[in-house]
Structure 1
C-alpha cells in the first residue's frame, strides 16, 4: 500500500459521511427480534424451569428402565464361548451402547439438577430481596415524623424525669 493511498483511507475514515464503528450493539434493522415486546431478551419463569427439569428427570428414569440391555452381555459371552465371531462384535456394541447411554443419562441428570438448583437459587434471591426491602421500609418508618405523634413525650424519658423530680 502506498503512502498516498494510506492518507486517502485516513481522510475518508475521518470524513463525517464515512461509515462509523458502533460498539455494544447492532443497528435496529440488523436485530432479529427488534420488534418483539420483550426487547429481544430471553424471558423465563419458574414454571418453565420446573417443566424442563421435570421432563429431563422423566427421560432419565425412562432411559434407566427401558434403554439398558443387560441380556446382551450374557448373549455375547455365550456366542464367544461357542466360537462365533459375532460374540466379540456384540460385546463391543454393548460396551459402546452403555457408554453412550451413560453420557445421555448424565446429561439428563445434569439438566434436571441444574433446573432444580436454579429454581431454588431464584427463590432464595426473592426471599433475600423481599427481606431487604421490608427492612428498608421498617427503617424508613422509624424516620417518619408522625409515627409517635407530635408533641407527645417519650415514656422512657418521662419515667426518668419523674424519678429525678421525686428525689
Structure 2
C-alpha cells in the first residue's frame, strides 16, 4: 500500500504536481512498532523513581528544607512530561495501526469496485 498526501496548504508540490509525502505500509508499520516499544518502555520503566522522589520531597519539606519544594517541583514536572510523552507514543502507535487497517479496507473496497468494472469492460469489448 502506498499513500500520497497533499501539502497542508492544499497546494501541489512544485516538482511532481502531486502530493509531497509518500508513506508505504511497511514504513508505517515500523514506525508504529517503534512507537509502541517506546510506550511500553515508558510504561514499564519511566515511573520507578516517582514514589521515592515524592517521599523525599515530602520529608525534606516536613524538615523545613527549601529543597523539598524544589524536589516536589521536579517530581511534578517529570510526572507531567513523562505522562505526556508516554501518551503521545501510544497515540502514534494506535493511529498508525488504525490508519494501516483503514487503508487496507479502503484498498480492498476500491479493488472490488474496479474488479466489477473490469468484468463489465470484458463484455463491452
Q: Say whether residues 1:52 and 2:31 are aligned partners.
A: yes
- Where do 1:1-167 residues align within 5 Å? 34=15, 41-68=20-47, 69-70=49-50, 71-141=52-122, 143=123
SS at match of 2:21: coil
Are residues 108 and 25 of structure 1, via their aligned partners in 2, closer, same or farther at CA, if it must alter by over 3 Å?
closer
CA offsets, 1:9-68, max 9 Å, x none? Answer: xxxxxxxxxxxxxxx678xxxx6xx4x9xx884222100001111111111111122222
For the pair shown, the structure with the greater C-alpha radius of gyration is 1
2:12–2:20 CA contact under 8 A, matched in 1: no
SS at match of 1:44: strand
Which 5+ residue runs of structure 1 have no aligned equivalent? Answer: 1-23, 146-167
Which 5+ residue runs of structure 2 have no aligned equivalent? Answer: 1-10
* Displacement of 1:144: 5.8
2:36–2:90 CA contact under 8 A, matched in 1: yes
Q: TM-score, normalised by structure 2?
A: 0.75
Higher relative contact order (CA 8 A, sep 6+): 2
CA offsets, 1:82-116, max 9 Å, x none? Answer: 22221121111100111111111122112111111
